[in-house]
Chain A
Amino acid sequence: MNTLTLLDAINAALAWELAHDDNVVLFGEDIGKNGGVFRATLGLQERFGEQRVLDAPLAETQIAGMAIGMAAQGLRPVCEIQFAGFMYSTFDHLINHAARLRHRTRGRLSCPMVLRTPVGGGIHAPEHHGESPEAWLAHTPGLKVVSPSSPARAYGLLLAAIRDPDPVIFLEPTRLYRLLKEPVADNGEALPLGAAFTLREGCDVTLVSWGASVLETLQAAEQLAEQGVSAEVIDVASLKPLDMPTILASVAKTGRCVIVHEAARQCGVGAEIAANLASEGLMSLLAPVERVTGFDTPLPLARLEDEYLPSVARILAAVERVRAY
């Protein structure tokens, strides 16, 4: 088994699927010779040719639009948007078409496309390069939304996304691209979409997170363990559909829940999880559900960026509050 970064794992999953399914076509800005600005598609054009790995003109609306056309034709388009901040112009296509092509045609046509894009802050990139758009997407009926937080999950979930019969938005946490390495079996085995991953078992409090924030959440759990507090850590991974049974079962055990996400708080996916806990898990809750999130402001530019992101200290403070309740 090779030890891969999250970027390597994405590259490996794309390569696997290109090699095993002729219908898979990759396109996006600078993904060919340059291998993408983060190098997620490094070497793929060279290996699979310009017919299957294409540099698209600079036009995100068009990238999403043609993915829909290809998908309706039975291809498996995997498009890349260079940064999530530049995907907003794709929303017309994602919301009006990709998400409802199957529904509108009563199953006659469908849209098995994948849109990959780097998300999140913490790399001190320029303006609009650190967006966390998952809530906009998870709000859209008909889409699936996934965000991996480790190389192995990136590999397995991306394979699942490409093989899925419906449109999947695949949000890759930029901050984790090169940060973590782990052994990943490059064997073409997918992980299930719509399932959360319990990364650490515990009985005192449930910590729920996804994407890059899983990192700080795990660090917080580690520190809590040193203080004798046993935290269960769940990586939601699939933001739509949401695996509430796993979260509810955990909270039934711990009675306390802290949700951690980088996106702004209001109407974030954390609110959806909290609402579900209130309606389905009220009797197991021993304390109000806490959210540790970005503020309801745009992500600040580099100088103040770190003030915005959920930190281990903020997570620990929230755990303190739910335990003291």
Chain B
Amino acid sequence: MIPIAEFRVPYTRFLDAHGHLASPPPDFQPHDLLPVYRAMALTRAFDAKAVALQRTGQLRTYPSSLGQEAVTVGLASVMRAEDVLLPTYRETGAMLWRGVRMQELLLYWSGDERGSDFAGPREDFPIAVPIASQCGHAVGVGFAFQYRRQPRVAVVTLGDGATSKGDFYEAMNTAGAWRLPVVFVVTNNQWAISLPARKQTAAATFAQKAIAAGIPGEQCDGNDILAVRDCIGRALERARVGDGPSLIECVTYRLSDHTTADDARRYRAQDEVSAAWALEPLARLRHFLVDQKLWSKQDEETLLADNQAAVSAAAADYLATPPQALSTLFDYLYAELPADLAAQRQQLLTERGQA
């Protein structure tokens, strides 16, 4: 027997758990990480605020990204503004980086459709709740870029659980066959609600799922912002110059419950969570920046205060947003409202004394 094909799955990590840099990625400028660090810290502050709002009855179900800030901010930080993001529900950091406003996210998670009509970035997709469905859309977006010969990339994010859906394989396969500019980012936070990743699949990595689609698959330490930016950055460059799609698996950990409607203590050991805290991305990056003399205790205090002020202001803005008009039940369903629906709209308004 001779091997007819052989494959390897590269792994990337630069910063170890203590923030020590073994060898830097090419063209590395440490001060580039300052805005990234700030955005990761803001994401964490926002998550905490959103959970607090939910706990006090001022927000509906919310999925925190606690512990995943390096992935979500990292991927957005290497995208270009003109690229298109197709996010899951746990991509707060990426959406904020790309210009979605905090009050818009809060509106969405309060059950207000206007949260998906964010002021920018206008071409990004709304949050996809049906797991993995966004993968197919990303292929279509990538096709449009290729068709128009635009050097733009569709970036789609999904979870470890989502890789079990056919949508994901179908999308990777099509993107590979047509060499489309798509980057699939799998955030392996090791849990899909109560199912641990090892019960999701028999595969040793999620990155290797790319192999059968004939596209590059790489794994990185998703708590190492340098690794995330390097791997996804290179995948974006390949896609942008016409070398086709890639899959990047970022290994991280969901430090929070699945959502505010979940209680993870029911199904996972506290030891595991405590151990994962030792690997979390924000402290790791801070240690590095402090070592580099790029960050001080004073900077940290200022940042925390600024972030608190920013999330509080956003929450106040959100809470002061007037409700949507009743007619919005109907107004955006079609470009032009059919007559029968116009009658239903009228019926609702009459019933509520708003006709």
Central interface residue in B127, B193, B340, by most chain A CB within 10 Å? B193
In the complex, A57 Cα to B351 Cα: how many Å?
46
Q: Quick check: A58 and B129 within 8 Å, CB to CB?
A: no
Does B151 belong to the interface (CB within 8 Å)? Answer: no
Q: Quick check: B130 and A124 within 8 Å, CB to CB?
A: no
Q: Quote the shortest CB–CB distance from B196 to chain A (angstroms).
A: 9
Q: Quick check: A124 and B60 within 8 Å, CB to CB?
A: yes
Does A30 belong to the interface (CB within 8 Å)? Answer: yes
Does A189 belong to the interface (CB within 8 Å)? Answer: no
Q: Quick check: A302 and B324 within 8 Å, CB to CB?
A: no
Q: Quick check: B194 and A30 within 8 Å, CB to CB?
A: yes
Known contacts A33-B266, A33-B267, A303-B112; is A55 also within 8 Å of B344 by CB? Answer: no
Q: Quick check: B193 and A29 within 8 Å, CB to CB?
A: yes
Q: Quote the shortest CB–CB distance from B105 to chain A (angstroms).
A: 13
Q: Quote the shortest CB–CB distance from A54 to chain B (angstroms).
A: 10
In the complex, A265 Cα to B200 Cα: how many Å?
39
- Contact string against B for A residues 115-156, beta-carbon threshold 8 Å, 1 for contact and 0 otherwise: 000000000111111000000000000000000000000000
Does A23 belong to the interface (CB within 8 Å)? Answer: no
Q: Quick check: B130 and A86 within 8 Å, CB to CB?
A: yes
Does B333 belong to the interface (CB within 8 Å)? Answer: yes
Q: Quick check: A59 and B164 within 8 Å, CB to CB?
A: yes
Does A1 belong to the interface (CB within 8 Å)? Answer: no
Known contacts A34-B267, A128-B129; is A300 also within 8 Å of B329 by CB? Answer: yes
Q: Quote the shortest CB–CB distance from A156 to chain B (angstroms).
A: 30
Q: Quick check: B113 and A300 within 8 Å, CB to CB?
A: yes
In the complex, A125 Cα to B162 Cα: how many Å?
20
Does A16 belong to the interface (CB within 8 Å)? Answer: no
**CB interface residues, B 314-330, toward A, < 8 Å:** 323-324, 326, 328-330
Does A307 belong to the interface (CB within 8 Å)? Answer: yes
- Contact string against A for B residues 105-142, beta-carbon threshold 8 Å, 1 for contact and 0 otherwise: 00001111100000000000001011100000000000
Q: Quick check: B324 and A34 within 8 Å, CB to CB?
A: no
Q: Quote the shortest CB–CB distance from A138 to chain B (angstroms).
A: 22
In the complex, A304 Cα to B113 Cα: how many Å?
10
In the complex, A295 Cα to B328 Cα: how many Å?
12
- Contact string against B for A residues 34-67, beta-carbon threshold 8 Å, 1 for contact and 0 otherwise: 1101000000000000000001011111100000
Does B297 belong to the interface (CB within 8 Å)? Answer: no
Cβ-closest chain B residue relative to A37: B193
Q: Quote the shortest CB–CB distance from B120 to chain A (angstroms).
A: 21
Q: Quote the shortest CB–CB distance from B150 to chain A (angstroms).
A: 30
Q: Quick check: A308 and B110 within 8 Å, CB to CB?
A: no
Q: How many residues of A contact B (CB 8 A)?
A: 39
- Contact string against A for B residues 23-62, beta-carbon threshold 8 Å, 1 for contact and 0 otherwise: 0000000000000000000000000000000000000110
Q: Quick check: A297 and B341 within 8 Å, CB to CB?
A: yes
In the complex, A88 Cα to B166 Cα: how many Å?
13
Q: Quick check: B165 and A295 within 8 Å, CB to CB?
A: no
**Count, A-B residue pairs, CB within 8 A:** 108
Q: Quick check: B326 and A30 within 8 Å, CB to CB?
A: no
Q: Quick check: A308 and B329 within 8 Å, CB to CB?
A: yes
Does B348 belong to the interface (CB within 8 Å)? Answer: yes
Q: Quick check: A58 and B113 within 8 Å, CB to CB?
A: no
Q: Which residues of A contact B61 (CB under 8 A)?
A: 125-126
Q: Which residues of A contact B324 (CB under 8 A)?
A: 303-304
Central interface residue in A34, A35, A88, A129, by most chain B CB within 10 Å? A34
Known contacts A30-B194, A126-B129; is A55 also within 8 Å of B199 by CB? Answer: yes
Cβ-closest chain A residue relative to B164: A57
Q: Quote the shortest CB–CB distance from B271 to chain A (angstroms).
A: 16
Q: Quick check: B329 and A304 within 8 Å, CB to CB?
A: yes
Known contacts A296-B344, A300-B329; is A34 also within 8 Å of B193 by CB? Answer: yes
Does B161 belong to the interface (CB within 8 Å)? Answer: yes
In the complex, A37 Cα to B162 Cα: how many Å?
17
Q: Which residues of B contact A57 (CB under 8 A)?
A: 161, 164, 195, 199-201
Q: Which residues of B contact A129 (CB under 8 A)?
A: 129
Q: Which residues of B contact A314 (CB under 8 A)?
A: 351
**CB interface residues, B 46-103, toward A, < 8 Å:** 60-61, 89
Q: Which residues of B contact A308 (CB under 8 A)?
A: 329
In the complex, A29 Cα to B131 Cα: how many Å?
12
In the complex, A314 Cα to B350 Cα: how many Å?
12
Known contacts A33-B194, A296-B340; is A58 also within 8 Å of B333 by CB? Answer: no
Does A194 belong to the interface (CB within 8 Å)? Answer: no
Q: Quote the shortest CB–CB distance from B202 to chain A (angstroms).
A: 10
Cβ-closest chain A residue relative to B133: A89
Q: Which residues of A contact B328 (CB under 8 A)?
A: 304
Known contacts A295-B330, A307-B326; is A302 also within 8 Å of B111 by CB? Answer: yes
Does A85 belong to the interface (CB within 8 Å)? Answer: yes
Q: Quote the shortest CB–CB distance from A180 to chain B (angstroms).
A: 21
Known contacts A300-B113, A301-B113; is A127 also within 8 Å of B165 by CB? Answer: no
- Contact string against A for B residues 158-187, beta-carbon threshold 8 Å, 1 for contact and 0 otherwise: 000110111100000000000000000000
Q: Quick check: B165 and A297 within 8 Å, CB to CB?
A: no
Does A305 belong to the interface (CB within 8 Å)? Answer: yes
Q: Quick check: A295 and B344 within 8 Å, CB to CB?
A: yes
In the complex, A298 Cα to B351 Cα: how many Å?
20
In the complex, A243 Cα to B193 Cα: how many Å?
40
**CB interface residues, A 76-92, toward B, < 8 Å:** 85-86, 88-89
- Contact string against A for B residues 323-347, beta-carbon threshold 8 Å, 1 for contact and 0 otherwise: 1101011100100000011001000
In the complex, A30 Cα to B352 Cα: how many Å?
41
In the complex, A85 Cα to B201 Cα: how many Å?
24
In the complex, 9 of the A-B residue pairs with CB atoms within 8 angstroms, ordered by the A residue number, are: A30-B195, A37-B262, A55-B199, A60-B165, A125-B60, A295-B329, A295-B344, A302-B60, A302-B112
B residues in contact (CB < 8 Å) with A: 60-61, 89, 109-113, 127, 129-131, 161-162, 164-167, 192-195, 199-201, 261-262, 266-267, 323-324, 326, 328-330, 333, 340-341, 344, 348, 351-352
For the A-B complex with A29-B195, A125-B61, A295-B330 known, give 14 more contacts whose Cβ atoms are closer than 8 Å.
A34-B193, A34-B267, A55-B195, A55-B199, A58-B200, A86-B130, A86-B131, A89-B165, A124-B60, A126-B61, A126-B89, A126-B109, A301-B113, A307-B348
A residues in contact (CB < 8 Å) with B: 29-30, 32-35, 37, 55, 57-62, 85-86, 88-89, 124-129, 265-266, 295-298, 300-305, 307-308, 314
